[in-house]
Amino acid sequence: MGMAASQARYLALAARKTNTEYEGQQINQARTALANQSANLFNQLLGLEVPIAPKTTDYTELQYSYTDGENETVLEEWTQLSSPNPDANYSVRYYHNINKYTGAMKQLQDPQVQLHQGNGTILTTNNGLKLAIDDLNNSELALNTAIENSTNTISASKNILNYATNSLNIDSAVNNNNGTYTVIVNGNSVIFEVYQNCGSADKMIVDAIEADLLSMNAIDNNFDKTTQMYINSNGDVVLKSDLEKLYGTLPNSMSFSLPIYNQTNVAAAKTNFTTQIASDNLAEITAQANYNNALNFYNDLQIPEYVGNCELTLFDPNNQDDLVEVKQVIKDLNDQNINNDLKNCFDVNGNYTGGIYSFQLNGEKYFATYEELMASYNSHTGPNDIDGQIKLPYYHAKYVKTRVEQVEDALLETDSNGRFKTVRFVNDSVTYSLNTETVTDDAAYQDAMNEYNYKVQQYEKIIADINAKTSIIQEEDRTLELRLKQLDTEQNALSTEMDAVKKVIKENVDKTFKTFSD
**Can you spell out the DSSP letters for 324-348?**
HHHHHHHHHHHHTT---SGGGGB-T
pLDDT at 317 over 70: yes
Strand partners, 356: 369
Helix (H, G, I), strand (E, B) or coil at 87: coil
pLDDT at 316 over 60: yes
Rounded-to-integer distance, Cα 193 and Cα 226, Å? 11
Q: Which residues of 139-173 are buried (b: 16+ CB within 10 A; e: fewer)?
A: beebbeebeebbeebbebbeebebbbeeebebbbb
Mean predicted lDDT score pLDDT of the chain: 87
Over residues 5-39, the pLDDT tens digits come to: 767 777 777 777 788 778 778 888 888 888 888 88
For residue 252, the model assigns a pLDDT of 47
Rounded-to-integer distance, Cα 405 and Cα 72, Å? 12
Strand partners, 62: 438
For residue 119, the model assigns a pLDDT of 64
pLDDT at 174 over 80: yes
Q: 434 or 148: which carries more pLDDT confidence?
A: 148
Concatenate the DSSP letters of all residues of 1-15 into one string.
Answer: --HHHHHHHHHHHHH
Over residues 112-124, the pLDDT tens digits come to: 999 886 667 888 8
Over residues 353-382, the pLDDT tens digits come to: 888 999 999 899 999 999 999 999 989 887
Report the run of H or E that residue 310 belongs to, with start and end.
strand 310-311
Contact 56, 440 (CB under 8 A): yes
Query: What's the pTM value of the predicted model, to 2 decimals?
Result: 0.54
For residue 250, the model assigns a pLDDT of 47
DSSP 57: G
User: What mean pLDDT comes out for the span 403-422?
Assistant: 88
For residue 180, the model assigns a pLDDT of 92
For residue 3, the model assigns a pLDDT of 61
Backbone angles phi, psi at 71, to 5 degrees: -130, 150
DSSP 381: -
DSSP 195: G
Backbone angles phi, psi at 289, to 5 degrees: -65, -40
pLDDT at 204 over 80: yes
Please report which confidence band the pLDDT of residue 253 belongs to, taking 50, 70 and 90 as the band edges. very low
For residue 22, the model assigns a pLDDT of 80
Q: Which of 146, 144, 121, 124 is nearest to 133 (CA)?
A: 124
pLDDT > 90: percent of the chain: 41
Q: Which of 276, 36, 284, 20 is nearest to 145 (CA)?
A: 284
Concatenate the DSSP letters of all residues of 211-264 into one string.
Answer: HHHHHTTSS-TT--HHHHEEE-TTS-EEEHHHHHHHTTT--TT--EEEEEB-HH
Q: Report the range of poorest mean pLDDT among 238-252, 253-267, 294-308, 326-340.
A: 238-252
Backbone angles phi, psi at 440, to 5 degrees: -110, 130
For residue 517, the model assigns a pLDDT of 54
Over residues 120-151, the pLDDT tens digits come to: 788 888 888 888 888 999 999 999 999 999 99
In angstroms and rounded to an integer, the radius of gyration of the C-alpha atoms of the chain is 57
